[in-house]
Amino acid sequence: MLRPHRHQPLWFAFILHRLSGLGLALFLPAHFYVLSLALTNIDALNEMLKWTENPLLKFAEGCLVFLLAVHMFGGLRLLALEFLPWSPRQKTYAAAATATAFFVACSFLLNAV
């Protein structure tokens, strides 16, 4: 059963922003892989580029642009909310998210070296 606040338009904006972020996060590893092919294996990159002519993939690219736009405008909405005062719990969550992101980025950096 849905809670009453989940019938509000802002709840749907929240869910759409989270789902678009998840979709973009799932896309990024594939994108980085294809970019790495440009540096390491030009023949494999050319094969991948031939594959991108598939109409289904063109549709998926259109969906990706939609996800980018939704996520950008959802982020702008959240930035507007930043001007309101934060509760201590929100500050703790933000600090934990920043620390986790820093840890993940450093682990990738150390893996690359």
State whether 109 and 68 are in the same domain: no
Tell me which residue range forms the domain holding 95.
Answer: 86-113
Q: How confident is the model at residue 24 (pLDDT cuts 50, 70, 90)?
A: very high
When divided into structural domains, the chain yields a total of: 2
State whether 36 and 90 are in the same domain: no
Return the structure tokens found at 51: 């594959």
State whether 98 and 73 are in the same domain: no
State whether 78 and 42 are in the same domain: yes
Is the torsion defined by CA of 35, 36, 39, 40 positive or negative? negative
State whether 90 and 49 are in the same domain: no
State whether 78 and 94 are in the same domain: no
Supply the pTM of this predicted model.
Answer: 0.61
pLDDT digits over 68-97, tens only?
888 888 887 787 777 777 778 877 887 888
CA distance 97 to 105: 12
